[in-house]
């Protein structure tokens, strides 16, 4: 589903931002190789791009440096000219306004508590439900289980942090990504140019010990901490991917100097003194198939005549959001 929706999602979201005059940075994206051993992975990414009709160009090292003079790559790279960055908060604010204009009620700060005979019980009282769409992110699996779904799945939260540069706007021209490990859904530390033209490096993907572990002991939940700790220990011992290695590598990224070192493999002139400000954390609601002991790579939905549950909508979920939401609506079965 990711492959199906990425190209169309990019096009539709770009058109939406243009129609609403939401600022975008059409910066493009380079995918670079640290050495020749990563060339086969570049070839595989290019092949997948062609299969999915994505505008992805194989370029030389010299051509990559013409796009971004500071980039570091071994002989070759890939370039995505249609990649843009945008402030997602502005997009969400605009879409919320659109929904309200269409007569949809938006209730912020309302907590789901349990399923009832006629619908759901929340912190704002009872709601009768004609058809429920569960897009609760970090809590999607818990809600789905109340409705008889997500039997083999659980959410495993990962904390994402970015370090922001204080270099002038335009100091870096384009997004720069390493060749990803195609065995897991994380893209590795990369350089992103924001919609305002500033640069940031990251993100981390550090296992969290409760679902909303944004800062310190904020939102601490002892039951979630116990459940997630046991789940992580189980994955360390029995997963079919190296969760222990992944967790150790990610914990090292709490170190600013280590994150800067990783970014230095992509870009010349990455100076630690320019990267001192951490951005607000985000939590990735990563779905795990507990039966297979594996991270889910693609979007996952389950549902019936009464409800639909979006269990996994990780990156590039934002890019894919418009066609993905249409896909969800098409799958709703009328009673």
Report pLDDT digits (tens) over 253-290: 999 999 999 999 999 999 999 999 999 999 999 999 99
pLDDT by residue (tens digit) across 229-245?
998 988 887 776 778 88
Burial of 305: CB neighbours in 10 Å, binned 0-12, 13-18, 19+: exposed
334: pLDDT confidence band, cut at 50, 70 and 90? low
Q: Which pTM value belongs to this model?
A: 0.92
CATH class of the region 131-331: alpha beta
Phi-psi region of 143 (alpha: psi -120 to 50; beta: other; left: phi over 0): alpha
Question: Tens digits of per-residue pLDDT, 9-60?
Answer: 999 999 999 999 999 999 999 999 999 999 999 999 999 999 999 999 999 9
Q: What is the tens place of the pLDDT at every residue in 190-202?
A: 999 999 999 999 9
Asked whether the beta carbons of 154 and 16 are under 8 A apart, the reply is: no
Long-range Cβ contact pairs of 124-132 (< 8 A, separation 24 or more) = 129/306, 129/307, 131/306, 131/307, 131/308, 131/332, 131/335, 132/306, 132/307, 132/308
What single string gives the DSSP state of each residue in 185-219?
S---SEEEE-TTS-EEEE---EEPSSTT--STTTT
Confidence (pLDDT) at 247: 86
Q: What is the dihedral of CA 289, 292, 294, 300, to 10 degrees?
A: -40
The predicted pLDDT at position 45 comes to 95
Angle at 57 between CA 54 and CA 63, to 5 degrees: 155
Burial class (CB in 10 A: 0-12, 13-18, 19+), 1: middle
Q: Cβ(86)–Cβ(23) under 8 Å?
A: yes
Domain ranges of the chain: 131-331
pLDDT, tens digit (0-9, with 9 covering 90-100), for 108-165: 999 999 999 999 999 999 999 999 999 999 999 999 999 999 999 999 999 999 999 9
DSSP 103-117: T----TTPPEEEE-S
Task: Determine the length of the chain.
Answer: 335
The greatest distance separating any two alpha carbons of the chain, rounded to the nearest whole angstrom, comes to: 65
Q: What angle do CA 164, 169, 175 make, to 5 degrees?
A: 65
């Amino acid at each position: 589903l990711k492959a199906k929706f990425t190209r169309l999602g990019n096009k539709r979201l770009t058109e939406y931002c243009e129609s609403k005059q939401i600022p975008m940075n059409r910066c493009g994206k380079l995918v670079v190789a640290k050495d020749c051993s990563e060339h086969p992975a570049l070839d595989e990414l290019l092949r997948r791009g062609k299969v999915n009709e994505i505008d992805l160009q194989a370029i030389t090292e010299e051509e990559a440096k013409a796009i971004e003079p500071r980039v570091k790559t071994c002989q070759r790279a890939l370039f995505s000219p249609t990649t843009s960055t945008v402030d997602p908060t502005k997009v969400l604010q605009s879409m919320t306004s659109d929904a309200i204009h269409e007569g949809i009620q938006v209730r912020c700060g309302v907590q789901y508590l349990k399923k009832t005979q006629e619908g759901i019980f929340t912190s704002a009282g009872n709601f009768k439900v004609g058809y429920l769409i569960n897009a609760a992110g970090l809590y999607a699996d818990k809600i789905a289980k109340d409705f008889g779904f997500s039997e083999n799945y659980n959410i495993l939260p990962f904390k994402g942090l970015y370090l922001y540069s204080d270099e002038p706007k335009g100091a870096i021209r384009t997004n720069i990504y390493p060749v990803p490990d195609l065995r897991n859904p994380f893209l590795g530390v990369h350089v992103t140019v924001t919609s305002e033209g500033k640069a940031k490096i990251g993100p981390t993907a550090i296992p969290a010990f409760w679902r909303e572990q944004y800062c310190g002991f904020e939102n601490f939940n002892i039951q979630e901490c116990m459940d997630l700790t046991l789940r992580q220990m189980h994955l360390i011992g029995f997963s079919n991917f190296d969760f222990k290695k992944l967790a150790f590598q990610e914990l090292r990224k709490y170190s600013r100097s280590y994150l800067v070192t990783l970014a230095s493999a992509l870009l010349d002139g990455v100076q630690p003194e320019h990267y001192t400000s951490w951005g607000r954390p985000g939590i990735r609601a990563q779905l795990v198939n507990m039966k297979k002991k594996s991270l889910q790579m693609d979007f996952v939905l389950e549902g019936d005549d009464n409800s639909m549950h979006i269990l996994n909508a990780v990156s590039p979920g934002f890019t894919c959001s418009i066609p993905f939401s249409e896909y969800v609506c098409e799958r709703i079965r009328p009673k």
